[in-house]
Structure 1
Amino acid sequence: APAPAPAPAPAPNSAPDLFASIVAQGEAVRNLKAAKAPKEEVDKAVQQLLSFKAQFKQLTGVDYKPGMAPPTSPASTAAPSSDSSSCPYTRVSQQGELVKKLKAEQAPKDQIDAAVKLLLALKAEFKQTTGQDYKPGAAPAQKTTAPVQNQPSPAPAAPGLYEQVAEQGEVVRKLKAEKAPKDQIDAAVKQLLALKVEYKQQTGQDYKPGSQAPASPVQTQASTSQSGSAPQAQELFAQVTLQGELVRKLKAEKAAKEQVDGAVKTLLDLKSKYKSLTGEEYKPVAAAGATGGEDKNRKERENKSEKRGGGGKKGRGDKASQGKESSGGAGGSGEGQGPKKQTRLGLEAKKEENLADWYSQVITKAEMIEYYDVSGCYVLRPWSYAIWEAIKEFFDKEIRKLGVENCYFPMFVSQAALEKEKSHIADFAPEVAWVTRSGKTELAEPIAVRPTSETVMYPAYAKWVQSHRDLPIKLNQWCNVVRWEFKHPQPFLRTREFLWQEGHTAFATKEEAAEEVLQILDLYARVYEELMAIPVVKGRKTEKEKFAGGDYTTTVEAFISASGRAIQGATSHHLGQNFSKMFEIVFEDPKKPGEKQLAFQNSWGITTRTIGVLTMVHGDNMGLVLPPRVACLQVVIIPCGITASLPEQEKDALLALCSTYLSRLLDAGVRVKTDLRENYSPGWKFNHWELKGVPVRLEVGPKDMQQKHCVAVRRDSGEKVTIPEAEVEKKLVTMLEDIQNSLFKKASDDLQSHMVAADTMEQFQKDLDQGRIVQIPFCGGIECEDWIKKTTAKDQDLEPGAPSMGAKSLCIPFSPLKTLQPGQMCVSGKEPAQHYTLFGRSY
């Protein structure tokens, strides 16, 4: 095995040389231990390290200590000769050659790293000795002793302080290596940072291990101030500092770009003048010690508050809140609140520019989901689950009116049952998740996790149905299903586990079953249009897109204009007698005694995909926009103007008024909450609740209280309305209904403007490329549909990992835009058209 660390080309024959060798070899030993290298390899490297340390003690008379200042060679302290720098220069050159050689030979990484570390240490020593950076092939010019004589002596406290920093650094490393408690490590790190700040104050330089600073900046400046330019330099220094503060302030306030650019240009000009006058770069040394710790604490506070509020740019209303915060006015902190939490709310991506990023930010920053460590599975947080509960409550109530009862069947399916209906399982086979082991024991037969429950429920139906009197069976279950998708997962839209309801019914006649299919489809349309304010297109799926194993499928299709793509909202299937034949769900025909009749069946379902559709249809660049009927909170009450100068009596009266509004609105059936958090300003709260999509914000301040009114702000339009105190319930209930209707109208107008009819392939392609969904004359053939999809596919997808962007059939609309003319041909020109069929790019 190769040696763990390279010996430098020249034998270490001086204290600085040995010091650098020990540092490099120590690093090599640490790397080997971290990589869990073979014991003999580690022992060999440790032996080499101990050898270097023994030589170091023999040469210097002191033990090597980690972090100690590197010794200077005696030659460098004596009057330097004309070739005083030739030895370090040669050592750097030789070590550089060794590094090149190791890389060329593809030596082990730890060996190369150790050699590089030694090279860097030698370069640092070279710079310390000569005052110049090492340049290959250019030995430094001869140095006179004059600069050394003019060099200020080290600040008395600096060497001792250097040792303190080094020792404290070693303490921190030791604590981390021993995995000490976090508070113990934090305290040690804090002390280390304080010592480093003090060191920088005294020396004017950052602490660097192995390179002690020579002098205090104050003393250095003293030597240059002998010229007459000292007062002018001090004045310029002050101007640069002030201009720097101005630039930082402009950037923090997000001022106009030209304003910031102008200020930066002035700053650079001042720095240039300072350098011309003093011969040195401007360094804000004086500020380092005073504010370093404070700045670090401020950054830590900001980071913590950003984690709570989410990153991103501030939304609307934020500039106003910033102004209030700085002036201590209505948006300022209350009594005893301490420093303001400077968090960034809002979204960084714009919906119209990058829909995928925008969507990801909305669902996380609006606290709808949390990511999980199993790909394609997500945590539904209360804010999104409340939407699902609203859908569940409405739909459950309506299906009970139709005589449907709720039940629950197991999530596991036997292999025999799942594979009984071949055409049915063909659609799901690649996505079925199988349980194959219990602990370490292989199961005798693998068990599937349900992708859908036809094959789980129908064996029981066969047992329960003996006579026509046992029909109809109308059962529904609210449950989860697993489909192990291999496409790029998207929360709500395409996930490996999702929540849904699935209804399974069995009837004695086809007419009863066909009637129910459309009844359920109408309920799904109402879920979208009445609850979520999303218009849908009702229709029947083509032969290619229908549910496998069914006779026909009906669907509601929604449209997302931001991507120009449609999305399937919910489906209601007529299964005919396909499954009843397979599972023997039969009864004695009352009209023909002795003859067995197969039951007619339906299945229908809607999923949590609805939440993703709602987010993309209504959301904007400030975040989520929730229709009032599905919103977890319909109104949020925010007290404003509670400042340190506000009398305690007025503050109590204001909070009491907010509490009164809360009670009155709850009694009126409004879902409402008062945000009384004291550690956030009103401006921050405005942005927070806008991001979460609450339909109405109610602002109540001291002046509002005096004038006996409050201000309601609509989330959908941003409109502010002043409401008299006595009419709060009435006005807000009306406003919520108006918001619901406005959102539906806006989405309906959007759908109508993007859904068109085309009779030629050329026009169809053109409309498709403009982000529309198109009704075209279509023959209904599976091969023809495949040809359309292939012909309309683009080379690039609209988003990475999305499914093929060729157009697919969405449905045969029940209410087409145009009527098919007699003899009209399919858009492909090969077969007669059967229907105007809606095609589009789809999720």
Structure 2
Amino acid sequence: MASQTTSEGARKDASRVEVAAKIGIEYKKEVDFPKWYQQVLTRSEMLDYYDVSGCYILRPWAYKIWQEIQQYIDHEIEEIGVENSYFPMSIPAKNLEKEKEHIAGFAAEVAWVTKAGSSNLDEPLAIRPTSETAMYPYYAKWVRSHRDLPLRLNQWCSVVRWEFKNPQPFLRNREFLWQEGHTAFATKAEADLEVEQILETYRQVYEGLLAVPVIKGIKSDKEKFAGGLYTTSLEGYIPTTGRGIQAATSHSLGQNFAKMFDISYEDPQGPLANGDSRPALHAWQNSWGFSTRSLGVMIMVHGDDKGLVLPPRVAAVQVVIIPCGMNAKVSDEDRLSVDRRLAKVLTLLKKADIRARVDNRDNYSVGFKFNHWELRGVPVRLELGPKDVRNNQIMAARRDNGAKIALQQTTLVSEVRDLLDIIQRDMFNHAKEIRDANVVFIEEWKDFMPALDKKQLCLIPWCEESDCEDRIKEKSSRSGHTATEDHNEKAPSMGAKSLCIPMDQPVDKKIIQGETKCVSCGKDAKRWALFGRSY
């Protein structure tokens, strides 16, 4: 029996050694970014791979961040009159066919249900790629009078887009979580106002919660939402790859969908003078969405070679408290004093709504625990030992920059709260400094490719014509270069695309109508536009 127990203990010890050996990140972020990203996600326990390619399990460490985002967005949209609802994920084929221009953008990605058991369905059902065609037939049913407007609904759900490109966790999933708002108004002015309000809410999530700087802009006609009037977006920047990434979108749909699905109402002015009815009026509509892609953006911007670096406002655990210096020479009295102080500190922090946890596992070393929580990106680590108890202090270590500071027990809660705020602010400022240094003004085509190859985004005077946009993408791709052109052969082969036309146009570099020319085609430029390689 003793031998069996010893053998079992040895297996457990061996298992712990194996876990310890794999707790760190083996790949450098700047050397092998894809493998670094994959390893950070799995070893930090953000997600795990599922048996269906392109589908992933969001583990609690990631899902808590999503819940923080959800809570924030819910509060903001409820304040402006949006209500939550839920629509089924199965969409009849006939609904999709009503709006061919819109669904054309999703056609290759739509997953279909064609059988139930051994029987074929009378009509194939699409698994929701987005919900316009699921919701709008019912908007048409519910809207009869101008008094039924505005109709402003949001739903939190999953969507399926069966992309055949290489799936990437959080960035390009075949199933992902998001919220999608769908609203209808009597006037364009009301709809336009909401587009701006929602985009600003999304900016606050990225910059205020995730500490990720973004650029607010308008998409080109080529990049706007299929079937919509115009699209506004947030654009992020991933320094390691030099790529832009679409972070969130808020679309004005105009009246296109309302006409297609007959979302109309009687003119409140009543009949004409001759008694004839006035033509029905169509609603002005918006749709807007924010997805779990945001988690991937946050990880890629802030993570380092030790793993995650989480902004305090969204971290599942903001503070981890680790007992230190508890070796064999420590007296029972000192052990008891440390245990009591740990419990007191934890209680104080929790009462102050600081998400804290004590790691008092006795089967792991202090070093192992440090690595464990650094990998998971916990913003603050508190270290408490017998000497700290006697000195009535506790040592704090920051995850974002590794700095250490001694905190006083009497002012611990306020000091920890201040430290979390400082970390949140510093993480955003650091990311913004890097982003700003890599968004460059390009006024001649000869400077465009060198900037891309330096992993930069390019602000260019642009004519805003779709043909020119196609040409820029072609000219900036590897295949678009001639042998005589100076080009870095180690640079990515993909071409640059338009990311957005920034809403905040440069004040010191104004476009002069009739004088400022498009960098690519030489025609008159209309506005500065942001171009770059992208995800």
Same fold (TM over 0.5): yes
Partner of 1:570, secondary structure, is: strand
Correspondence 1:836 to 2:520: no
Residue number in structure 2 paired with 1:698? 382
Looking at secondary structure, tell me which structure has more helix per residue: 1
Correspondence 1:516 to 2:194: yes
CA shift, 1:656, in A, is: 1.1
Residue ranges of structure 2 left out of the alignment (5+ in a row): 272-276, 481-490
Residue number in structure 2 paired with 1:349? 27
Correspondence 1:811 to 2:524: no
Residue number in structure 1 paired with 2:293? 609
Correspondence 1:305 to 2:16: yes
Residue number in structure 2 paired with 1:529? 207
Partner of 2:120, secondary structure, is: strand
Residue number in structure 1 paired with 2:185? 507
CA shift, 1:828, in A, is: 2.1
Correspondence 1:648 to 2:336: no
CA shift, 1:572, in A, is: 0.2
- CA, structure 1 residues 651+795, in 2 after alignment: closer, same or farther (shift >3 Å)? farther
Q: Counterparts in 2 of 1:408-807, with a 5 A limit?
A: 408-591=86-269, 593=271, 594-595=277-278, 596-794=280-478, 805-807=494-496
Q: Could you tell me whether the CA contact under 8 Å between 1:302 and 1:343 is conserved in 2?
A: no
Supply the distance in 2 between the matched residues of 1:804 and 1:442 (Cα, whole angstroms). 45
CA shift, 1:777, in A, is: 1.5
CA shift, 1:588, in A, is: 1.1
Correspondence 1:820 to 2:498: no
- CA, structure 1 residues 306+826, in 2 after alignment: closer, same or farther (shift >3 Å)? farther
Partner of 1:359, secondary structure, is: helix
CA shift, 1:831, in A, is: 2.8
Supply the distance in 2 between the matched residues of 1:677 and 1:417 (Cα, whole angstroms). 56
Q: Could you tell me whether the CA contact under 8 Å between 1:480 and 1:498 is conserved in 2?
A: yes
Supply the distance in 2 between the matched residues of 1:795 and 1:706 (Cα, whole angstroms). 69
Q: Counterparts in 2 of 1:118-517, with a 5 A limit?
A: 300-301=11-12, 303-305=14-16, 309=19, 343-517=21-195
Partner of 2:126, secondary structure, is: strand
Supply the distance in 1 between the matched residues of 2:210 and 2:222 (Cα, whole angstroms). 29
- CA, structure 1 residues 390+305, in 2 after alignment: closer, same or farther (shift >3 Å)? same
User: How well do the aligned residues superpose, as a CA RMSD in angstroms?
Assistant: 2.1
Q: Could you tell me whether the CA contact under 8 Å between 2:99 and 2:260 is conserved in 1?
A: yes
Partner of 1:419, secondary structure, is: helix
CA shift, 1:772, in A, is: 0.4
Misfit runs of 4+, over 4 Å: 300-303
Letter in 2 for 1:828: S
Q: Could you tell me whether the CA contact under 8 Å between 2:115 and 2:121 is conserved in 1?
A: yes
Letter in 2 for 1:377: C
Supply the distance in 1 between the matched residues of 2:390 and 2:524 (Cα, whole angstroms). 74
Q: Deviation per CA, 1:324-370, whole angstroms, max 9, x where unpaired? A: xxxxxxxxxxxxxxxxxx54432111111111111011111110001
Supply the distance in 1 between the matched residues of 2:28 and 2:13 (Cα, whole angstroms). 24
CA shift, 1:529, in A, is: 0.5
Supply the distance in 2 between the matched residues of 1:655 and 1:305 (Cα, whole angstroms). 25
Supply the distance in 2 between the matched residues of 1:589 and 1:731 (Cα, whole angstroms). 61
CA shift, 1:795, in A, is: 6.2
Q: Could you tell me whether the CA contact under 8 Å between 1:775 and 1:816 is conserved in 2?
A: no
Residue number in structure 2 paired with 1:231? none
Q: Deviation per CA, 1:85-136, whole angstroms, max 9, x where unpaired? A: xxxxxxxxxxxxxxxxxxxxxxxxxxxxxxxxxxxxxxxxxxxxxxxxxxxx
CA shift, 1:400, in A, is: 0.4
CA shift, 1:803, in A, is: 10
- CA, structure 1 residues 490+551, in 2 after alignment: closer, same or farther (shift >3 Å)? same
Determine which structure has more spread, i.e. the larger CA radius of gyration.
Answer: 1
Partner of 2:179, secondary structure, is: strand
> Which of the pair has the greater relative contact order for Cα pairs under 8 Å at 6+ separation?
2
Residue ranges of structure 1 left out of the alignment (5+ in a row): 1-185, 188-292, 310-341, 797-801
CA shift, 1:668, in A, is: 1.2
Farther off after superposition, 755-764 or 786-795: 786-795
Looking at secondary structure, tell me which structure has more strand per residue: 2
Q: Could you tell me whether the CA contact under 8 Å between 2:479 and 2:493 is conserved in 1?
A: no
Supply the distance in 1 between the matched residues of 2:382 and 2:73 (Cα, whole angstroms). 31
**TM superposition score normalised by structure 2:** 0.93
Supply the distance in 1 between the matched residues of 2:171 and 2:440 (Cα, whole angstroms). 25
Q: Could you tell me whether the CA contact under 8 Å between 1:506 and 1:600 is conserved in 2?
A: yes
CA shift, 1:821, in A, is: 1.9
Q: Deviation per CA, 1:696-731, whole angstroms, max 9, x where unpaired? A: 000000111111111000101111111111111011
Supply the distance in 1 between the matched residues of 2:74 and 2:492 (Cα, whole angstroms). 33
CA shift, 1:816, in A, is: 2.5
Partner of 1:447, secondary structure, is: strand
Farther off after superposition, 587-596 or 345-354: 587-596
Partner of 2:78, secondary structure, is: helix
Q: Could you tell me whether the CA contact under 8 Å between 1:487 and 1:803 is conserved in 2?
A: no
CA shift, 1:306, in A, is: 5.1
CA shift, 1:650, in A, is: 1.9
Partner of 1:767, secondary structure, is: helix
CA shift, 1:760, in A, is: 1.5
Partner of 1:394, secondary structure, is: helix
Q: Deviation per CA, 1:572-618, whole angstroms, max 9, x where unpaired? A: 00000000000000011113533210000000000000000000001
Letter in 1 for 2:498: S
